[in-house]
Amino acid sequence: MTSCAWVPLSELAHGRSGDKGDCINIGLVAHQREWLELLSAAVTPDLLREWFGDMLRGEVRVWELPGIGAINCLLEGALGGGGTTSLMLDAQGKAWGQSVLRLRVPVDISRARALGLSLNAASVDRFGEVPLD
């Protein structure tokens, strides 16, 4: 049995995003405050850089906001110059928060179960092709 399962990020959190200049800010709030530890462990700069790929031109930073059970993600150089100069379809970064919720993220199975996270949508692979149970 594997110790890690892959779950849609939407199972752990809801998100909202927007812009400041050429940067996108994505706030992810855990559905249950105690799930912050799972959220923080799963969503890393490397994971976000892999998900968004070539759309990112700058640094990716992630930090906890423990008082509200959330993490904040800052994606620099992501908007082709910003809302007033960009030719991108989403020059204000509004859709990026919803997009990232489709990403499957790794969670420790025993911690997820102990914290009451449903693993009904979990898989043993990051693509959701092999169900956990």
Higher pLDDT, 48 or 23: 48
Question: What average pLDDT is seen over the chain?
Answer: 87
According to DSSP, the residues that pair with 26 across neighbouring strands are 17, 73
pLDDT digits (tens, 9 = 90+) for 55-114: 888 899 999 999 999 999 999 887 765 555 444 544 455 677 788 899 999 999 999 999
Residue 87 lies in a domain: yes
Residue 120 lies in a domain: no
Residue 128 lies in a domain: no
Residue 21 lies in a domain: yes
Please report the pLDDT score of residue 12 as a whole number: 97
Q: What is the pTM of this model?
A: 0.86
Q: How many domains does the chain have?
A: 1
Residue 124 lies in a domain: no
How far apart CA 51 and CA 68 sit, in angstroms, is 25
Residue 68 structural domain: 4-114
